[in-house]
Chains A and B, each alone.
Chain A
Amino acid sequence: MNWPLEAFLSFIASMAFGVIFNTPRRTLLSCGLVGMTGWLIYRVFVLFLEDPVQATFAGAFSVALVAHLLAKRFKMPMIIFSVAGIIPLVPGSKAYNAMRNIVENNYLEAITFASEALMISGAVAMGLVFAEVLMQMVFKQMAKRIQKKIGMTQN
């Protein structure tokens, strides 16, 4: 596989989705970066673990993590950055194959593809949630530490 090409294409695709969803102009590049991160991490995990479900989890997790950091940096809702980045991880081809096999009366194959698609969309959801919980814990800890610092300087 061709790493620079994939990085470039996923960057452009995520930016294009940013345009479709009308994200603010100055965040378009960051949206592209988020999408690129998610896709590359997904590809690396597919290469080493050969399990698309775990790879999708890792990809979605990193997308949400980067989106949270960018949201703090830009002071904008996190959703602006995560939406475009999630799109490449959506199991479009699995769902398509499931549909195609149903139409061709290959129900057993269709079930295989459909359950894979279901597992992958579940992995996307879990990745998003885990990153969110992690970031909340980290930010709470940071807020506590800052409060402690202020309290100590006051004393």
Chain B
Amino acid sequence: MTQIDETRRELALDCFLLAGKLLMENGAETYRVEDTMIRMAISQSMTDSHCFVTPAGIMFSPSDKLATRFVRISSRRTDLERVALVNSVSRKLVAGELELLEAYEELKTIDRTNYMFNIWLQILAAATASGCFLILLGGSWSDLPFAFAFGGTGFIIVETILEKTRVKFFAEFVGALAIGVLALLAVYSGYGNNLDTIIIGSIMPLVPGLLITNAVRDLMAGHFVSGLSKGAEAFLTAFAIGAGIALVLSF
């Protein structure tokens, strides 16, 4: 009897930690990760569990007698589809629509499947967003093709370097640098009108929007460790973009 309980408890812990890891890796707020894990634990009658979530790792203690488990989070990106899917699995588990084993299997499937949009569609989206922002921020229509092309190019460069080197700061710096050089060439060759609006429109897809929102929400919810580290990441990203553009403008 105790043997069965033991395996079931291990399964439950694996399930909670996988859910927490998936949420944190794909851009959920810290308080949501904690809330989800605690709710799932309560649904499996572990009522006095505690968890501590940071962007780098999750600690989960099922009770004061059992051993605490830890899971490391090494890579983070933005994939809100996965966040929504994990959220719905945890809702179903809490509502009793899913058994623990089914929930674990479903989480594993979510972990394996690639939900991202086609990369070309993402590039097209980045280019479109750049074009829209150029007009919204008061640019002229004749600059539209430049912002469209450079926004897409910047996004491709950042994604490629990110895949090759895994250094986010460097990727964003090079992306911003490329956008700056291209915009400068376009204006100097006489085809582009306004350097400022072209650059601002084109760098919009690189802006760390998710990090800023998450950092604020985490800080307000009292998760200072995660809030500050996400804020630092957002600041570094912004600094990388700014440095890339500044390097171009200083010539």
Chain B 95-137: CB-based contact to A (< 8 A → 1; otherwise 0): 0000000000000000000011100011001101100110111
- Contact, CB under 8 Å: A77 / B205: no
B135: nearest chain-A partner, CB-CB: A9
Tell which of A21, A27, A103, A129 touches B249, judged by Cβ atoms closer than 8 Å. Answer: A103
- Contact, CB under 8 Å: A128 / B125: no
Bound CA–CA A129/B214 (angstroms): 11
How many contacts between A and B, using CB within 8 angstroms?
Answer: 144
- Contact, CB under 8 Å: B121 / A19: yes
**Residues in B neighbouring A116, C-beta threshold 8 A:** none
Interface check B32, CB cutoff 8 A: yes
Chain B 207-236: CB-based contact to A (< 8 A → 1; otherwise 0): 101101110110010000000000000000
Tell which of A20, A100, A125 touches B196, judged by Cβ atoms closer than 8 Å. Answer: A100
Q: How far is the CB of A96 from chain B (nearest CB, A)?
A: 5
Known contacts A16-B125, A21-B80, A76-B87; is-contact A9 B132 (Cβ 8 Å) = yes
A66-108 interface (Cβ within 8 A of B): 75-77, 79-80, 82-84, 86-88, 90, 92-93, 95-97, 99-100, 102-104
A1-31 interface (Cβ within 8 A of B): 5-6, 9-10, 12-13, 15-17, 19-25, 27
Q: How far is the CB of A123 from chain B (nearest CB, A)?
A: 11
Interface check A53, CB cutoff 8 A: no
Interface check A34, CB cutoff 8 A: no
Tell which of B82, B121, B205, B213 touches A79, judged by Cβ atoms closer than 8 Å. Answer: B213
Taking beta carbons and an 8 Å cutoff, which residues of B are in contact with A? 27-29, 32, 78-84, 87-88, 91, 115-117, 121-122, 125-126, 128-129, 132-133, 135-137, 155, 196, 199-200, 203-205, 207, 209-210, 212-214, 216-217, 220, 238, 242, 245-246, 249-250
Taking beta carbons and an 8 Å cutoff, which residues of A are in contact with B? 5-6, 9-10, 12-13, 15-17, 19-25, 27, 39, 75-77, 79-80, 82-84, 86-88, 90, 92-93, 95-97, 99-100, 102-104, 121, 124-125, 128-129, 132
8 cross-chain pairs, A with B, having the tightest CB-CB distances, nearest first: A13-B132, A19-B125, A16-B129, A16-B125, A125-B216, A9-B132, A87-B209, A23-B80
A and B contact pairs by CB, cutoff 8 A, 28 listed: A5-B135, A10-B136, A17-B209, A20-B126, A20-B155, A24-B80, A39-B136, A75-B88, A76-B84, A79-B217, A83-B80, A83-B213, A86-B209, A90-B209, A92-B133, A92-B204, A93-B200, A96-B242, A99-B242, A99-B249, A100-B245, A100-B246, A103-B246, A124-B216, A128-B213, A129-B216, A129-B217, A132-B217
